[in-house]
């Protein structure tokens, strides 16, 4: 099973044959974070220290609510929604 990669830029990344799902954060700086297995979207965002109000979590072009569960093998995008200036 392929592992989930989560990006904060709108790009999707695949983990190849790695055994542990990874979260890739590219904003505000590039970093990769390994996450262990299934978890709720709310928990995922909390672990990443992201405020849910400022992000959409998207899987297969569908929006996920906070109580949705991200499984191993999912490709999940965490998209920032805040713009400034």
Partner 1 sequence: MRCLKCRADACIEIRRHNAAYCEAHFVRFFLDQVERAIREERMFDRDEPVLVAVSGGKDSLALWDALLDLGYRATGLYIGLGIAGYSAPSQEKTERFAKERGAPLIVVDLADEYGLGMDEVARRTLRAPCSACGLSKRYVFNRVAREHGFRVVATGHNLDDEAATLFGNVLRWQTGYLARQAPVLPESEDGLVKKVKPLYRLAERETAAYAVLRGIDYIVDECPNAQGAKSLLYKEALNRLEEASPGTKQSFLFGFLDRGRPIFEAARERVAFRQCVRCGQPTTTEVCAFCRLRDEVQQRPPRRGRGRRAGRRAVAPTSAAASAE
Question: What is the contact surface with partner 1 in residues (CB under 8 A)?
Answer: 9-10, 51-56, 58, 61-68, 79-85
Report how far residue 5's alpha carbon sits from residue 12's, in angstroms, rounded to the nearest whole number: 7
Report the residue count for the chain. Answer: 85
Minimum CB distance to partner 1 smaller for 19 or for 62: 62
Q: Least distance in Å: CB of 45 to partner 1?
A: 10
Minimum CB distance to partner 1 smaller for 24 or for 64: 64
Minimum CB distance to partner 1 smaller for 20 or for 54: 54
Q: Least distance in Å: CB of 18 to partner 1?
A: 26
Report how far residue 15's alpha carbon sits from residue 81's, in angstroms, rounded to the nearest whole number: 25
Asked if residue 35 lies in contact with residue 47, where contact means CB atoms within 8 angstroms, the answer is yes
Q: Least distance in Å: CB of 23 to partner 1?
A: 18
Report how far residue 11's alpha carbon sits from residue 13's, in angstroms, rounded to the nearest whole number: 7
């Amino acid at each position: 099973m392929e592992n989930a990669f989560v990006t904060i830029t709108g790009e999707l990344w695949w983990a190849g044959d790695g055994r542990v799902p990874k979260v890739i954060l590219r904003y505000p700086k590039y970093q990769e974070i390994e996450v262990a297995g299934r978890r709720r979207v709310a928990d995922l965002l909390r672990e990443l220290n992201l405020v849910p109000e400022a992000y959409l979590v998207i899987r297969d072009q569908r929006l996920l609510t906070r109580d949705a569960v991200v499984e191993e093998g999912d490709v999940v995008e965490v998209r920032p929604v805040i713009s400034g200036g």
